[in-house]
Structure 1
């Protein structure tokens, strides 16, 4: 059963093996599969300056195996849009604030992309942000993400015009966090209860899987 774990600096010591697998999968997906060669590292782990003490990971696990994840980062600190993609934002007016996070490195492993894992991770994303008092989340994504988010019930507003990045038309956008979006994507995911696990280590996940509809 899939469970979505919240990993921060406070509990990452209990998730060392899972985080290592997560970074290796990021490298496999973003470098090997999607061709982002600037991220290539000889150790085969995608780790950058934003993988620090301020980051929060939401990692999807199936029987301790990483099958997806995303990274959330405070916009009050220098972040990916402010430092690398400000030119994608209208008038370079980068959205930031204490209730705004940035989402990066979202992925689902290839063999799970046709099932409900994607919706469960998106539901966990909405739930976590609601619990933390977050109102919006910014991201730079390929244009095909917009209809995908709309299908999931997300309300999204563009922050600028589409621009070519790594050979793909990309856009900076902000996702509204709301109970309505959480309810919609939870229905798509077949969830009847919480899809988040907040634990000190991965061993706790066995008894904290989400309830799903038959």
Structure 2
């Protein structure tokens, strides 16, 4: 059963193998599938300057196997939008604050993209942010993703105009965090309870199994 694990600098020692698989999958997807050659590394792990002690990862696991994930980063620090994509923000300053995070490197493995994994990761994303007092999350996303988020009950506002990035039409946007969005996407995910796991390592896999609707 899919569970979404919160991995931070405080508990990453219990997730060493999981994180290694996560970074390898990021390389497979963003370099291999999407062709972002600037990210290519000889060790075939996608890691950059924001994979540091300030990063929080939400990693989707099924039977101990990584099937999806995303990275969250504080916007009060220099972050990807402020340092690499500030030109996507039109007519305003880069959105930042203590209750605003940036989301990057969102992915689901190819064979799980047609099921409920996407909605479960999005539900965990909303739940985590609500629990942490986060009000908005910024991201640079491909335009094709926006209808999917809207179907999931997310309220998204553009921060600029669509722009070509790595051969894809992308936009900087802000996602509102709300109980309504969590309830809506949880229904789509078939969840009766939480699938978010806050633990010390993969031993929690047997302890926290999400309830799903029949």
Q: Give me the TM-score of the superposition, normalised by structure 1.
A: 0.99
What SS does the aligned partner of 2:172 have?
strand
Could you tell me how far 1:7 is from its partner in structure 2? 0.2
Matched, 1:183 2:189: no
Q: 2:129 aligns to what?
A: 129
Q: CA RMSD in A?
A: 0.6
Could you tell me how far 1:91 is from its partner in structure 2? 2.7
Q: Which runs of 4+ in 1 moved over 3 A?
A: none
- Spell out the pairing of 1:77-116 with structure 2 (5 A cutoff): 77-91=77-91, 93-116=93-116
Q: Gaps (5+ residues) in structure 2?
A: none
Could you tell me how far 1:48 is from its partner in structure 2? 0.4
Q: 2:72 aligns to what?
A: 72
Alpha-carbon distance in structure 2 between the residues aligned to 1:112 and 1:198:
23
Could you tell me how far 1:125 is from its partner in structure 2? 0.1
Cα contact 1:100–1:137 (8 A) shared by 2: yes
What SS does the aligned partner of 1:211 have?
coil
What SS does the aligned partner of 2:17 have?
helix
Matched, 1:14 2:46: no
Q: 1:118 aligns to what?
A: 118
Alpha-carbon distance in structure 2 between the residues aligned to 1:92 and 1:23:
33
Cα contact 1:86–1:92 (8 A) shared by 2: no
Alpha-carbon distance in structure 2 between the residues aligned to 1:3 and 1:122:
12
Task: String of CA shifts for 1:155-182, please: whole Å, max 9, x gaps.
Answer: 0000000111111111000000000000
Alpha-carbon distance in structure 1 between the residues aligned to 2:167 and 2:205:
39
